[in-house]
A = this chain, B = another copy of it.
Amino acid sequence: MLPEKPFLPITSRDNPRLKHLRGLLEHASVRRKSSQTVLEGIHLLDAYQRAGKIPDSIFIAESAQTHPEANDLLDAWPSVARFILPDALYKEMRTLGQGIDIMALIDTAFVALPEQLNTDVLILEDVQDAGNVGTLLRTAAAAGIKQVICTKGTALVWSPRVLRAGMGAQFGIQVIEHADIKEILERLTIPLHATSSHANQSLYALNLKTPIAWLMGNEGQGASQIALENAISVSIPQPGGQESLNVAVAGAVCMFEMVRQRLI
């Protein structure tokens, strides 16, 4: 076994590593420019570890250093640089509430849109709410969908809020961001399905056993015109007569109807 890295102390809030970490937590522009983000809290770090990934570096508050769960993580990553901060300094920076005060800086490689889209895929077209995007990623991962494509208008998947709602789903699937809807449509070689309140094709009448692309649209506007023109538009029967479902719920109902059909 490799000798574990020693803890390097950070004591000043002007420390350049700390400044960078704070920038990543607060600004999407910093995350984009550096292709890095921060995982905050033991649950996300745990999910990252279970996905077999290795962070760039770890930041831990003094009082969390002896916590068994934090120690398990540190043991799992012996060769990762680790920095220790006074509790007060850590608290100034954290965006979560009380918990085990540990963060990791990770790299988020840019993934290009594949030339051909021919396996199950979830497309998020201008889905704006971070909670919805995170929940859709988590649901896609659970449903066995390994690829998610986000258009430019979709909430950024490596932001702290989407990471939290996604519970680490980001680590197990391929996520492509900043995609152009026209390019996506050109590269699809499998049928595209989009939910629409004006559709008359019931979800439950579709055959969902072969590879499929699902498109979920903006919370207010729904799917774009160009997407709908290229899609089978799908309605989810609603006996209660509601006007529309939350987009993460609509996505879940569609993806799990696919799961159900494939189990039979």
Question: A residues bordering B, Cβ < 8 Å?
Answer: 131, 135, 138-146, 165, 169, 172, 202, 204, 236-242, 245-246, 248-249, 252-253, 256-257, 259-260, 262-263
Q: A239, B257: Cβ atoms under 8 Å?
A: no
A244 to chain B, nearest CB (A): 8
Assembled-state Cα–Cα distance A202/B260 (Å): 10
Assembled-state Cα–Cα distance A227/B182 (Å): 49
Further contacts, 7 of them, CB under 8 A, given A141-B240, A246-B248, A252-B252: A138-B245, A141-B242, A145-B240, A146-B240, A239-B259, A248-B248, A256-B256
Nearest opposing residue in chain B for A169, CB measure: B242
A156 to chain B, nearest CB (A): 19
User: A253-B253, A253-B256, A263-B204 are known contacts. Are A135 and B246 too (CB-CB below 8 A)?
Assistant: yes
Assembled-state Cα–Cα distance A141/B202 (Å): 19
Interface centre among A145, A146, A169, A239 (most CB of B within 10 A): A239
Nearest opposing residue in chain B for A250, CB measure: B252
